[in-house]
Structure 1
């Protein structure tokens, strides 16, 4: 039992109560009650991993070790907490072998590992195409691959926006049935099925979300296809490509 993880979870639950946040969890029965698993969710805000971890907790108080970018671990505040909680750092622009080995070891030890297949926050709040890393790690370990979705988390803290703590927020978290695959199947095909499931779940959470923008200045968190002022999916994909190119340039210059 990780004491730091226990303390942080307790603080998170206290925060939910103080701010009267209504965090609704669906489909937690799809998370394995024991043994390894890869939980792959959409990525819309900096606190997605907190809410996904809270959702997993509904299945026998299980804990989720998330894979996060190295920059989060380099932060003077979040870094020590992330390491103490057993989360896994990955250098998106460099050597990923250490992180991949740590993920494999965690799955071999029967842990749940959380991953963001998109690799970055989607500015459109619609799932990006992503990459097959989560599918590949699950397949290599012979572990269940669980699709997940979050909605409402971006209203607290997301890319390009300052953090906001306000009362009465609704956040929805959902998990779906494991993605079926065969051991010799192409990981890209499995990834495509995974992202189709994630996208369908996100669409459902968006369309059934009980809160609406408070006015014209509050439509930023609504996706464009639902009448919001967030960037389109095409614009978000272009921004993600620009981010990857920037990382490549920085890596070449270092």
Structure 2
């Protein structure tokens, strides 16, 4: 079925892939079905479309609520499968929506840092990522976007194997501990694939 999302993904892929010479590694790690919590680092405003076009399943991204304020941008964001979240990840409705999506077997995309890194280094993750990881049985897939975003320069998107959250779930770890495990996995991907 052709949707706005599939058309937009095709168009954006056609533009961004050659512009930034996007190279993708590790898609074999991406589960073909079931709920997936996809967690990536955040270095540029183009990260959501880049992760969206390289993932092999539709991704539902949390996006700051300001992007839904006007009628036009609100419709666009909804067409792109995004849903609003208030800054700081303490938005209960957004948390409920995210849990529901994961339990329904969808892919929920998050940038745990909550904001772009100004210098490209990996920042501290917010507890929201750990909250979703602990409250569902979704596969937790780390993703590293390795830049810089420069026309003609290679941009590398790396998907790592799902993180085994079972020990953390069994010991009833805090959301912060779970987020830290996710950020460490993203950090390792960056370290191992930086050229």
Give the alignment's TM-score, normalised by structure 1: 0.69
Among 161, 164, 187, the alignment partner of 1:180 is 164
**Bigger radius of gyration among the two:** 1
After TM superposition, list the pairs within 5 Å mapping 1:1-254 onto structure 2.
1=1, 3-16=3-16, 19-57=18-56, 62-74=57-69, 78-92=73-87, 96-152=91-147, 155=149, 166=151, 168-182=152-166, 183-184=169-170, 185-186=172-173, 187-205=175-193, 207-208=194-195
Kindly indicate whether the alpha-carbon contact (under 8 Å) linking 1:135 and 1:145 is maintained by their aligned counterparts in 2.
no
With over 3 angstroms needed to count, the CA separation of the structure-2 counterparts of 1:111 and 1:41, relative to structure 1, is: same
Q: Secondary structure at the match of 2:129?
A: helix
Q: CA deviation at 1:132?
A: 2.2
Cα offsets for 1:220-250 (capped at 9, x unmatched): xxxxxxxxxxxxxxxxxxxxxxxxxxxxxxx
Q: CA deviation at 1:141?
A: 1.4
Give the alignment's TM-score, normalised by structure 2: 0.88
**Unaligned residue ranges in structure 2 (runs of 5+):** none
Structure with bigger RCO (C-alpha 8 Å, 6+ apart): 2
Kindly indicate whether the alpha-carbon contact (under 8 Å) linking 1:37 and 1:138 is maintained by their aligned counterparts in 2.
no
CA distance in 1, matches of 2:89, 2:105: 27
CA distance in 1, matches of 2:104, 2:88: 27
- Number of aligned positions between the proteins: 191
